[in-house]
Structure 1
Amino acid sequence: MKNGLYSIHVTLLDGRVGKGSGVVVFRDGKIVGGDAYLFYIGTYSVKDNTFKGEVLIQRHTSSPDANPLFGGPSAVGVGVSGTFTDTRAEMTGTALVGKASQIFGATLRRLADLD
């Protein structure tokens, strides 16, 4: 994964309905990002044109109108993996939310370089 600021668009898989969008920074093995309700921090490693990592997602703002994908009060651990080019990435992940797992797919598009 090239260091940079990426847009991220997430869709729940496995027959569940839900989606979300935000921004995320990949830089030297670290991941940080967020949206209007959640923030994410984690780490990743790269081999060839693939990456894998672990991310912790936590709510920073509650809303009576919105229902974020992982919007509970407790932090949610997520395992991710994907492939990338110089400008985009495709990622899948599994989040353990309470006693249930949620599988999702995400598309990332590089918005800006970071060095």
Structure 2
Amino acid sequence: MKNGLYSIHVSLLDGRVGKGSGVVVFRDGKIVGGDAYLYYTGTYTVKDNTFKGEVLVRRHTSSKDDNPLFGGPNPVGIGVSGTFTDKDAVMNGTALVGNSSQLFAATLRRLADID
């Protein structure tokens, strides 16, 4: 994954309904990002034009009006993998939410380089 700031747009799979978006930074094997309700921290590795990693999602703000995809009171662990180009990436993941898993797909678009 190229170092940079990315927009991320997530959709749930397996017949579940849900979407989310935010920003995420990939830099030298570390992932940080967030949206209006959640923040993400994790790590990743790269081989050729593929990447894989682990992310922990935590809620920073509760909302009575919105229901974030992974917005429960407990942190959610996510395994991700994907492919990338110089400008964008596609990613699939599995989030372990309580006793169940949620599959999702995401598209990422690089917004800015990070040195």
**TM interval, short-chain normalised:** over 0.9
Amino acid at match of 1:100: S
TM-score, L = length of structure 2: 1.00
Amino acid at match of 1:78: I
Structure 1 distance, partners of 2:71, 2:113, is 30
Identity of aligned residues (%): 83
TM-score, L = length of structure 1: 1.00
1:23-79, CA deviations, whole angstroms, 9 ceiling, x for partnerless residues? 000000000000000000000000000000000000000000000000100000000
Structure 2 distance, partners of 1:19, 1:61, is 18
Q: How many residues align?
A: 115
- Residue 53 of structure 2 is aligned to residue 44 of structure 1: no
Q: Structure 2 unaligned runs (5+)?
A: none
Alignment of 1:62-73 (within 5 A): 62-73=62-73
Corresponding residue of 1:53: 53
Q: Structure 1 unaligned runs (5+)?
A: none
1:84 Cα offset (Å): 0.2
Alpha-carbon RMSD across the aligned residues, in angstroms, is: 0.2
